[in-house]
Structure 1
Amino acid sequence: MEIKTHESIDRSLCGEPVMVADGGSEVRMECLQCMAADASGLVHGGFIFGMADYAAMLSVNHPNVVLGAAEVRFMKPSRVGDVLVAKAKDTTPGERKHLVMVEVFCAEEIVFSGSFTCFVTKEHVLAG
């Protein structure tokens, strides 16, 4: 499927789309050294959130989609070298307001889950 949103995002920091379909997406990201919060290799949660947010945007896949709110939970730490996969599902496709559920996995374990409220605006939020 054609990607219609977030065309200029840095995929090394937010992940690489591996599947984009109507109402769903999957994004894969390798945790890089530049994401480490400390010498132990703990990955800063902001990178994981960014990946999950990107997956949510791709599940809506509209040029004017924006994030309005998020309720998230970090369940396990991630380390430099981990390969994460975010799986997003739009539970309200076809509406202006979308509720997207996202889970991020490291192998078979869930490390993050969240509910993202996304809006499709009539024009780009920076227009005008």
Structure 2
Amino acid sequence: MEIKTHDQIDRSLCGNPVVVEEGRSEVKLECLQSMAADASGLVHGGFIFGLADYAAMLAVNHPNVVLGGAETRFLKPSVVGDVLLAKAECLPSEGRKHCVKVEVFCGEDMVFSGAFTCFVTKEHVLAGK
């Protein structure tokens, strides 16, 4: 399926799409040394959130999709060298509002889960600026 959103995103920071289908996506991210928050190699949660957010955007896959809110849980720490896989699935939508369930795994272990509320706007959020 053609990717219709976030076409200029830095995939080294937000992950590489491996599945993009109607209403779902899977995105893989290798945790790099530049993502470490400290000397132990703990990966900053913002990178994991970015991966999950990107997967949610791809599940909706519309040029004007934006994030409205998210309820998330970090379940286990991630470290440099981990390979994460975000799996996103759209739940039944209400017009322009899309609720997307995202789970992030490191191997068999779930490290993050979230419910993302996305909106498809009539025009790009920066149109006219």
Partner of 1:70: 70
Q: Which moved more, 1:93-102 or 1:63-72?
A: 93-102
Distance 2:72 2:35 in 1: 19
**CA deviation after TM superposition for structure 1 residue 93, in Å:** 4.5
What is the letter of the counterpart of residue 86 of structure 1? A
Partner of 1:104: 104
- State the secondary structure of the residue aligned to 2:126: coil
Partner of 2:27: 27
Partner of 1:36: 36
Structure 1 residue ranges (4+ consecutive) displaced by more than 3 angstroms after TM superposition: none
Partner of 1:121: 121
- State the secondary structure of the residue aligned to 1:9: coil
Distance 2:99 2:34 in 1: 31
Identity %: 77
After superposition, give the CA deviation of every residue in 1:17-54 in whole Å (9 maximum; x if it has no partner). Answer: 00000000000000000000000000000000000000
- State the secondary structure of the residue aligned to 1:20: strand
Distance 1:96 1:121 in 2: 7
Partner of 1:10: 10
**CA deviation after TM superposition for structure 1 residue 95, in Å:** 2.9
**CA deviation after TM superposition for structure 1 residue 92, in Å:** 2.2
After superposition, give the CA deviation of every residue in 1:42-80 in whole Å (9 maximum; x if it has no partner). Answer: 000000000000000000000000000000000000000
Distance 2:86 2:93 in 1: 19
- State the secondary structure of the residue aligned to 2:117: strand
Kindly tell me: are residues 36 and 47 of structure 1, through their superposed partners in 2, closer, same or farther at Cα, counting changes over 3 Å? same
- State the secondary structure of the residue aligned to 1:55: helix
What is the letter of the counterpart of residue 18 of structure 1? V
* Structure 1: runs of 5 or more not aligned: none
- State the secondary structure of the residue aligned to 2:46: helix
What is the letter of the counterpart of residue 5 of structure 2? T
* Structure 2: runs of 5 or more not aligned: none
What is the letter of the counterpart of residue 72 of structure 2? V
